[in-house]
Amino acid sequence: MQTPSSHADAARVGSAGFESTHWTVVLEAARQGSAAGHEALETLCKSYWKPIHGFIRRSGHTREESEDLTQGFFEKLVEKNWLRSVTREGGKFRSVLLTAVKHHLSHARERERALKRGGGRVLFSLDADVSGDDSWLEPADNVTPDQVFERRWALGMLEIALQRLRQEYVRLEKADLFDELQVFLSGSARPVPHAEIAARHDISINAVGVAIHRLRRRYGELLREQVARTVGDLSEVENELRHLINVLG
């Protein structure tokens, strides 16, 4: 039973579509007249929809108001081409973006009218999952809107790394194995005994242990790569990783 044992194979499979740095995507998104610019802008909107929605929701707005305000922010980002004025020297992109969101909310409070839900122009199919229990966003504890934004950003980094990891297993025709092993990436769920996995996939118990080790190692590499795409200088990666861990801790 073959497992993803080669770094070369993993790099070849995982690199497609992820070669540009995050700041490259930001700068490309500012070129709205091009197809590549629109695609890059859509990528950014999908990446930051949940963090921004969480920040606005935690700031005291209802679910519907938060969705309207989030959509309105991205509409203005496009209409005014705000990204054209953003540079690497401005700091971490998410920090620059959060400042812009705060300005957006400030201006929204000054306006007497609110956006009618569904009445705005939908820019992209964002598939943003903002349904379900979001009671933790209510001001019942000491979690601030900024902390919600940071937490959703961190969870987004983990999610993207996990998606990329699964894509590698899919291309190696090992999606079933990945679906069983991914539980070992988190301590929140009870792992399946190695013997059961070995029996289902016709491999040795030792091979299961090796596969789990490789899975964890590769996940760490992909997470590091994803974080590296969000900074302007690679020397900031370690600090960002520590910040991500602290946010989730």
Least confident of 159-163, 174-178, 222-226, 228-232: 228-232
d(CA 184, CA 208): 11
Query: Whole-model pTM?
Result: 0.65
Q: Domains of the chain: which residue ranges?
A: 21-116, 144-249
The proportion of the chain whose per-residue pLDDT surpasses 70, expressed as a percent, equals 66
pLDDT at 102: 92
Q: CATH fold of 21-116, please?
A: Rna Polymerase Sigma Factor; Chain: A (1.10.1740)
156: closest CA among 29, 53, 70? 53
d(CA 21, CA 2): 32
pLDDT at 186: 79
Tokens of 109: 């409070």
**For 100-144, how does the pLDDT look when each residue is reduced to its tens digit (9 = 90+)?**
899 889 888 766 444 444 444 444 444 445 444 454 455 446 789
d(CA 248, CA 241): 11
Q: Determine the residue type at 192.
A: V
Is residue 99 within 8 A of residue 53, CB to CB? The reply is no
Q: What are phi and psi of 115, to 5 degrees?
A: -65, 135
d(CA 235, CA 55): 28
d(CA 115, CA 129): 20
pLDDT at 85: 67
Q: Name the band, by pLDDT with cuts 50, 70 and 90, for residue 29.
A: low
d(CA 227, CA 220): 11
29/54: higher pLDDT: 54
30: closest CA among 40, 21, 22, 20? 40
pLDDT at 14: 35
Residues in Cβ contact with 12 at an 8 Å cutoff, skipping those fewer than 6 apart: none
Is residue 8 within 8 A of residue 59, CB to CB? The reply is no
d(CA 167, CA 175): 8
**For 70-91, how does the pLDDT look when each residue is reduced to its tens digit (9 = 90+)?**
988 888 877 777 777 666 555 5
Query: Which whole-number Å values give the CA distances from 88 to 35, 167, 233, 245, in the listed order?
Result: 23, 30, 9, 24
